Amino acid sequence: MEKDFFELYEMKPNLALEIGHNSIADWIIEVYDKRGKEAGNYGKPVVSVQYCTREVAFAKAYVELSEYFSEKFGGY
């Protein structure tokens, strides 16, 4: 599922991606839309997923990102 997520992510320019994990916390995946925003200050993420299993976190992030593309761009 990670590959599918990254392929979808790469389809649109001006996105920023943050992925985090440690042995205590869950996987965290956040995607920001940088269009019209100051560098490093992108506001709230357009995708924000937190889950204990990497595969599920990427699957949920894929769904949220595809829904965002559908809402903002009429599809992907």
In a domain, 47, yes or no: no
Mean pLDDT for the chain overall: 91
In a domain, 73, yes or no: no
| Predicted pLDDT at 39 | 67
Give this prediction's pTM.
Answer: 0.88
Asked whether the predicted pLDDT for residue 16 surpasses 90, the reply is yes
In a domain, 52, yes or no: no
- Provide the residue range defining the domain that includes 4: 1-42
Evaluate whether 18 touches 12 at the Cβ level (below 8 Å).
no
Evaluate whether 76 touches 70 at the Cβ level (below 8 Å).
yes
In a domain, 23, yes or no: yes
In a domain, 56, yes or no: no
Average pLDDT over residues 58-66: 98
In a domain, 36, yes or no: yes
Asked whether the predicted pLDDT for residue 49 surpasses 70, the reply is yes
In a domain, 13, yes or no: yes
Measure the CA–CA gap between 22 and 12, rounded to whole angstroms: 29
Count of domains for the chain: 1
